[in-house]
Each structure stands twice: as structure tokens, then as C-alpha cells.
Structure 1
Amino acid sequence: MIEWYEQGSVAIPRQLLNNYTRLGLSESELILILHVHSYIESGISFPTPDEIASKMTISVDKCIEILRKLMQKGFLSIEDRDIAGVRGERYSLRPLWEKMMMLFFQDTKEENQLERRTLESKLYSIFEQEFGRPLSPIEIETLSIWLDQENHEPIIIKAALKEAVLSGKMNFRYIDRILFDWKKNGVKSVEDANRHGERIRQNQFKGIHK
């Protein structure tokens, strides 16, 4: 087997490769981080600037400068370690992973907000389609209050509309009662709403057959 292949490989997070510029990293900083990551994975937790620079096309002084910048920018830290009573230091990439996690949550939040705004813009036409007519000014204001003042999620409002359609009670007052009941009972998702509705129907069925 080829010797270089036997040396193994280094796991590089795809999120890091795709988003290093958004994190504020340059190419040289990224490559240096990958070398530090490789050293740590191979059991060398505190490689010297000489060792790192030997893997790159930069001088030792430039390597030291980049290491200092990475620590100043909060991507790399030096931690104390104690192994069998022997004290030493090691590099930690935890600050970088934490920044990547924050970026992931930020992207997820932005996606959710975009999805919410998209559904908000469609809600009015969804209601008009189900009611078979344009909404009145009072109904438009009520829908706006549900979204802006009572902070109901658009998907929950849509689910309440569906519940009203199934019940044959197509009016805003009934939908408002559904939303009030769901909020009181901690309904926060369509799945919660379905389970809550099933419980109500079961209780009604039991009441009829007593």
C-alpha cells in the first residue's frame, strides 16, 4: 500500500470549508488551523511554530503572527494541561467550534424567520381562498393582531383555520377561540394541535356514549 495513504486522513468539517470567509478567516489562517487540527488529532497538542511553518509556505515569524491573530480573534486558545503530574500547554480549537455553532444557529434562525415571513404573506390569500371571498377590514385587522400582538405562529393560525374548516364553523370568532384554547394548553406546533384535537374528540365521544 502507498505510504502516504497509510498515514491516514484528517476530518475537516464541511461547515468550516463552506463558511470560513463568513467567520472572518483568510486562506492562510484556515490552512494553519487545519494543520493545528491535524497535529491535535495525531496526538501532538502543542506543535511549535517551526513544526507548523514546515507544513506551509510561510516563515516561522509569519506563522507566529498568524497564531497570535487567531488567538486575538477568538479562534484559537492555549490551555494548561496536567498529565501524570506534568504540567504543560496545548492548543484548543474549541473557540472556533463554538463560533461555527453560533453561525449554524444564526443560519437556522434566519431560515425560520424567512419561512415565517413567507407564510405570513400567504396567510391572507389562504384565508380568502377558504372563505371564498375577500376578507373584510375587521378580519384583516384580526389576522394582523394574531400575528403581531398575540404572537401566534403563521403555521398555527393556518392549522386553526383548517380545524375550523373541518368543524364547519367558518368564522373568525371560532378560529380565535381555537387559538386561545391552544395557547392556554401549550400548543406550539401542528403536531401538538393534532394531539390536542384528538384528545378533545375522544372526550366528546366518551361523553356521548356514557
Structure 2
Amino acid sequence: MHYNDYRTLGFTTFSNGLLAYYPQLKISDSEIILIMQLELFAQKGENFPSNEQIAANTNFSSAEIADIIQRLIEKNYLAIDQVTDKKGRIGNQFNLDQLYIKLDELLAKNVLPNAEEGVTESSSSTVDNSPLNQLMRQFEIEFGRYLSPIEREEVAAWLNVDHYDPEIIKLALREAVLSQAYSLKYVDRVLLNWQRHNLKTTSEVQKFLQRNR
């Protein structure tokens, strides 16, 4: 099977933020797999797949799927709503709104600085909101996974050894995401290319990108 053959099966859109931070929401690996499956079915127009349908896409049994669903309901991440269709028929649908509300709260508190109020004071220390940690969190959100210790050291080296402006690094990350190249090696190549062109400010980089699009 070639890539184009797989394309006919479609793609599922899923939050990188949730992939990066689901452990902090106390969501287990089995629960995140179920959430992915619910998103897959919902994006195909099936808002209340059966346990058997979900199980067929996983290594879980129908009984295990039922248990996982119950756990998510108990955590208030998943709800089952009663809905009425255009023909007046009553049915059910899964609702993940509370999950994404909790994710928004987590990201707003620990990841995204509040533009109006400044950096939010929370259980995170001042160090946690340093440019380095903000960069790492942004990489984890965009990559949809945690950075390894070696990768964290590389990001730190960009700031402390190479002395790249954090905003320049963010622009390089954006270029990697646009190219669907989710690796620090790609970001590093972008940064080195800009360095060779003596680009030192975000405005210089943006002008360079506009000329070379």
C-alpha cells in the first residue's frame, strides 16, 4: 500500500496539546486511545459508536472499552448526551466538551502566558515560566509529545550557547511544523540557514521568508 492508498482512508484531526499534556490531566494511555477513537468516529459523523465498533479499532475487548468509558465519565471528561434528530428520533452522543475545557485551563495556567494579566502565578515557579521552559512547552505542544532529556539540552543550547532569540526559535519551529518535519534536527537546520544569512531579528527573518516563499 502506498501513501495515496492510505489517504483514501482519511485523516483524523487531534489536539497536539492533549497529546503532549494528557498525563498531567491524569488520563491513562488506554483512556487517550479511547478519546482518539471517539474523535475518529465523530469526525466521520458517528457520534455514538458502539463498544464493539471501538473495540474493533483497538486491542481492547468490548468489556474493556466499557470500563474505560466509565472511568472517563467518572473523571468528568466524557458525558453521554441525549439528542433529538431532525425526524424527532431520540438518541445518544458522546460529549468531550469538559475534557477540552480542562485542557484549556491547564494550557492557560501552565503553558500560555496571559497577555492581559502577565504570567499567571500558579503552582509553577518563576523558573517554570522562563523563556526556556516556555519554548520547551511550545515544542511539546507542536510535536504532540514530551521532549527527551537530550532534546531539552539542545533547546537550552540554542538559548545559552548559540544565543538565539527565543522568538527566532519559535519562527523556526513554525517552519518545521509547516513542513510537517517534527524534529529538532530540522529546526536546527533552519536556524543555521538563517544564521548563514546573518538574520538576527524576527523582522529580518520574516522578510527573508516572504522573499523565498
- Total equivalences in the alignment: 117
Of residues 89, 106, 110, the one that matches 2:109 is 106
Q: How does 1:107-122 map to 2 (within 5 A)?
A: 107=110, 108=113, 111-113=119-121, 114=126
Going from structure 1 to structure 2, the CA distance change for 1:27 and 1:17 (only over 3 Å counts) comes to: same
Once the two structures are superposed, residues 42-90 of structure 1 have per-residue CA deviations (whole angstroms, 9 ceiling, x without a partner) of: 0000000010011111111111000000001011110111112111100
Please report how far the alpha carbon of residue 3 of structure 1 lies from its aligned counterpart in structure 2 after TM superposition.
3.3
Distance 2:30 2:8 in 1: 27
Larger Rg: 1
Distance 1:68 1:25 in 2: 13
SS at match of 1:71: helix
Distance 1:105 1:15 in 2: 11
Greater relative contact order: 1 or 2 (C-alpha under 8 angstroms, separation 6 or more)? 2
Asked if residue 97 in structure 1 is aligned to residue 97 in structure 2, the reply is no
Q: How does 1:2-13 map to 2 (within 5 A)?
A: 2-13=4-15
Asked if residue 48 in structure 1 is aligned to residue 50 in structure 2, the reply is yes
TM-score by length of 2: 0.51
Gaps of 5+ in 2: 131-213
Asked if residue 76 in structure 1 is aligned to residue 71 in structure 2, the reply is no
Q: Is the 8 A contact 2:78 2:98 kept in 1?
A: yes
Once the two structures are superposed, residues 129-179 of structure 1 have per-residue CA deviations (whole angstroms, 9 ceiling, x without a partner) of: xxxxxxxxxxxxxxxxxxxxxxxxxxxxxxxxxxxxxxxxxxxxxxxxxxx
Q: Is the 8 A contact 1:37 1:93 kept in 2?
A: no
Distance 1:49 1:35 in 2: 11
Please report how far the alpha carbon of residue 111 of structure 1 lies from its aligned counterpart in structure 2 after TM superposition.
4.1
Query: What is the identity, as a one-letter code, of the residue corresponding to 2:64?
Result: K
Gaps of 5+ in 1: 119-210
TM-score by length of 1: 0.52
Distance 2:54 2:120 in 1: 41
Query: What is the identity, as a one-letter code, of the residue corresponding to 1:51?
Result: Q
Q: Is the 8 A contact 2:80 2:95 kept in 1?
A: yes
SS at match of 1:81: strand
Percent of paired sites with the same residue = 24
Q: What's the Cα RMSD here?
A: 2.2
User: Is the deviation greater in 73-82 or in 2-11?
Assistant: 2-11
Runs of 4 or more above 6 Å deviation: none
Distance 2:67 2:45 in 1: 24
Distance 1:15 1:23 in 2: 11
